[in-house]
Structure 1
Amino acid sequence: MKTLVCTLLLSMAMAFTASAQSSKLDELIEEGIALYDIGNYAGAVSSYKEALKLDKKNPTVNYELAMTYGAIGDYGNAVKYSNEVLKLKNANPGLKAQAYGIKGNALDMQGKPQQAISAYEEAIKLAPNNYMVYYNLGLTQYKLKNYAAAEQALIHAVQLNPNHASSHLLLGYTKQNQGKRTQSLLALYNFLLLEPTSERAATAYQEVRQMQQQGVTKGEGGKTMTINVGIPKGDDEFSAAEMMISLSQATALSDENKGKTEEEGFYNSTRSLFSILGELKEDKSSFWWDYYVDFFYSMKNAGNVEAMSYYVSQSSGKEAVANWLQEHQEQVAQLSSWYENYKR
């Protein structure tokens, strides 16, 4: 009887100790996360290290350490603790996918892009709906100038999260580097719609303006105009659009449009682009036609291109843009409502 009582007391003591340890572990993890969120990365590392003393095989603690080391640029430790997560049998697939993502980022920053790509591909196997992994994969491929591979990864990212501005931006630059003006314009327009006022928006806006005018030059005195239409290489699904865009831009620069403001010219060119593409679509079907062209042609048919043109021009810093938006709040609200209701 005495032995039984002792055994029960020992079991209760062990259970109490385990419970207290678990409570302390959770407290340290929460403390680390709170410190990370306010940018106190050194404090977060300290909390997680204390947590590891209680349970060195805890997947969450190892993951949080990997993420924190990645945030402070200690890529060696970011890889180390990501690998700790990947070795743990009690880590769920979602957490392992995120650990692969952190590992991929760290490897890329260490100048090991091929290893980073392998890490991203492993992450995708575990979590095929993680748009950030596809974006990071696209970014690494873009930096390697593997534009076709970058495009495919970024298309996945955009489809998984249409509101991720960076995916549209990088996709636009990817197509620009491939010499695909129409697709680049479409992606950059979408980026500007999501992020119209940042520094990178200012750069993207200027790229859009330059591509709109690409291939059309006016001679001295503005009396002659030259239109250069490049011959598409291979089977280019947007070759007809390229030609018509240049022709429409020539019309925009003609004498009959003298006196129009730069903002009005931008709007007219934008509306013309969306109209041309919508009319050319017919039975064409691909990501670019079904995702971007349908979207912008529907916007045009709903009468929202003017508001969109001024809205995406905000980074230009022009007073005329700010004044138009202030004076046409109802049109801007209509654009916003249409956008919220448009389902991709």
Structure 2
Amino acid sequence: MKKLILLLCLYAGALQAQSVDSLISAGIKLHDAGDYEAAIDTYKKALAMDSKSFLIYYEIGFSYSALNNHQEALKYAELSLSFATQQSRLHPLILKGSALDDLGRTAESVAFYKEALKEFPTHYLLLFNYAISLSRLGNYAEAEQVLIQALSHNFNHPGSHLQLAKINLEKNHKSKAALGLYFFLMLENTSARAEENIPVLINLLYGNKKTSDDNKTIYLTVPDPKNDPEWASADLFFSILGIASGQIDQALRDKGAAQSEQQRFVADTEKFFKTLGELRDKRKKPKKKKAEQAFSIWWDNYIPFFSELVKQNHTEAFCYHIMAAANSTEVNEWLMNKEEKLSYFYLWANSNR
């Protein structure tokens, strides 16, 4: 009789565990579909069966965060942390730090992330979110270094490349910002973020122009060599590139040999990558420098990758690939009709980044 009762208890426990797991899975599907309130209701049903599950508390908090209810997100992140094991604390920690930041408690968020990094010092997502909070406080120099550290652990994280670009936009380092944007768009080319940042890259490349009748005013920002002497030449070239390209484009139009905006973008991107490669070849490294200071994500990661991309004749495929979210008929047709070229580019890119 005792054995029968034990078996029944075990069976009931297994059924409950299965039911909890099913509810969590259903909640995740609802969240992924954008139905965050229904997801929360589903998670709370699971919570009624298992009130000590760190995962359920985390998922509820994550859905509240998606609803921009950051106070509730913070509450459930803390509840999740109270039940999480050492190994399962990472995502609840990130959720709590993000909630603090989104509530305007950014200084608290930074302090919290510093403590969290003692537990997970090399995790790229924790470093990335820490950098976001640092950026919001205007601490761009430290945020940049933290992002570079995050990328050293996962160079394929699109958000870190994008945030690195944004920081350099704030610092008016156009070449660095462009490199980050190019790499971000290569990794994430069809999302809403991609669509939002394509115009940012185009504006970086060609600048702001105001036209009144036949008169054009072109705004050119000449970089201060004292600000970042190592990048003065690159930024000067980048500033002039758009103007020179416009003059060439007009000359071609006058001769009846006009190129499309996308063709012009391909040609100018190749010039930019080639020039940076040449500058890298001429660059003299300091004789005495600490190892961590000698390494540069720009000269040792981005530029070698893009220089080799040009040498391997993948610039065209790359440029059409990163413009997939541009809502351009020309781009869409090229992407449909040049599958072989794209395949060779993807094979090369996946092997070399």
Cα distance between partner residues in 2 of 1:15 and 1:116: 48
Cα distance between partner residues in 2 of 1:329 and 1:158: 30
Q: Which residue of 2 aligns with 1:145?
A: 138
Q: Which residue of 1 aligns with 2:43?
A: 45
- 2:299 is the alignment partner of 1:308: no
Cα distance between partner residues in 2 of 1:79 and 1:227: 45
Cα distance between partner residues in 2 of 1:18 and 1:201: 53
Cα distance between partner residues in 2 of 1:101 and 1:64: 13
How far did 1:304 drift?
A: 0.5
CA contact (8 A) 2:134 2:143 kept: yes
Letter in 2 for 1:106: A
Q: Which residue of 1 aligns with 2:336?
A: 326
Identity between Structure 1 and Structure 2 (%):
26
Change (3 A) 1:19 1:68: farther
CA contact (8 A) 2:127 2:150 kept: yes
RMSD: 3.3
Change (3 A) 1:309 1:44: same
Cα distance between partner residues in 2 of 1:68 and 1:213: 40
Instruction: For 1:59-98, list aligned pairs within 5 A.
Output: 59-88=54-83, 91-98=84-91
Unaligned runs of at least 5 residues, structure 1: 1-8
Change (3 A) 1:81 1:207: closer
Q: Which residue of 2 aligns with 1:281?
A: 280
Higher mean Cα deviation, 332-341 or 179-188? 332-341
Change (3 A) 1:253 1:68: closer
Cα distance between partner residues in 2 of 1:280 and 1:72: 47
Deviations 1:149-175 (A, max 9, x none): 332333233333333322222221221
Q: Which residue of 2 aligns with 1:266?
A: 265
Cα distance between partner residues in 2 of 1:60 and 1:207: 38
How far did 1:30 drift?
A: 0.3
Change (3 A) 1:45 1:325: closer
Return the match for 2:184 from 191, 196, 210.
191
Cα distance between partner residues in 1 of 2:279 and 2:208: 21
How far did 1:275 drift?
A: 0.5
Return the match for 1:245 from 238, 242, 245.
238
CA contact (8 A) 2:144 2:164 kept: yes
Cα distance between partner residues in 1 of 2:109 and 2:88: 17
How far did 1:131 drift?
A: 2.3
Cα distance between partner residues in 2 of 1:67 and 1:165: 20
Letter in 1 for 2:28: D
CA contact (8 A) 2:100 2:106 kept: yes
CA contact (8 A) 1:48 1:64 kept: no
How far did 1:16 drift?
A: 5.6
Cα distance between partner residues in 2 of 1:226 and 1:34: 53
Higher mean Cα deviation, 226-235 or 112-121? 226-235
Letter in 1 for 2:313: G
Change (3 A) 1:129 1:83: same
Q: Secondary structure at the match of 1:246?
A: helix
Cα distance between partner residues in 2 of 1:228 and 1:14: 80
CA contact (8 A) 2:124 2:154 kept: yes
Cα distance between partner residues in 2 of 1:25 and 1:160: 39
Normalising by structure 1, what TM-score?
0.81
Structure index of larger Rg: 1
CA contact (8 A) 1:215 1:228 kept: no
- 2:332 is the alignment partner of 1:337: no
Change (3 A) 1:310 1:72: closer
Deviations 1:225-266 (A, max 9, x none): 996523234344211111222344443233554423222211
Higher mean Cα deviation, 110-119 or 266-275? 110-119
Q: Secondary structure at the match of 2:138?
A: coil
CA contact (8 A) 1:45 1:68 kept: no
Return the match for 1:122 from 111, 115, 119.
115
Normalising by structure 2, what TM-score?
0.79
Q: Which residue of 2 aligns with 1:36?
A: 27
Change (3 A) 1:110 1:229: closer
CA contact (8 A) 1:168 1:188 kept: yes
CA contact (8 A) 1:219 1:226 kept: no
Cα distance between partner residues in 2 of 1:119 and 1:304: 44
Deviations 1:195-226 (A, max 9, x none): 22334323322111221123999999689999
Unaligned runs of at least 5 residues, structure 2: 31-37, 286-294
Cα distance between partner residues in 2 of 1:318 and 1:95: 44
Instruction: For 1:165-244, list aligned pairs within 5 A.
Output: 165-214=158-207, 229-244=222-237
For these two proteins, the number of residue pairs brought into alignment is 329
How far did 1:176 drift?
A: 0.6
Q: Secondary structure at the match of 1:316?
A: coil
Q: Which residue of 2 aligns with 1:4?
A: none
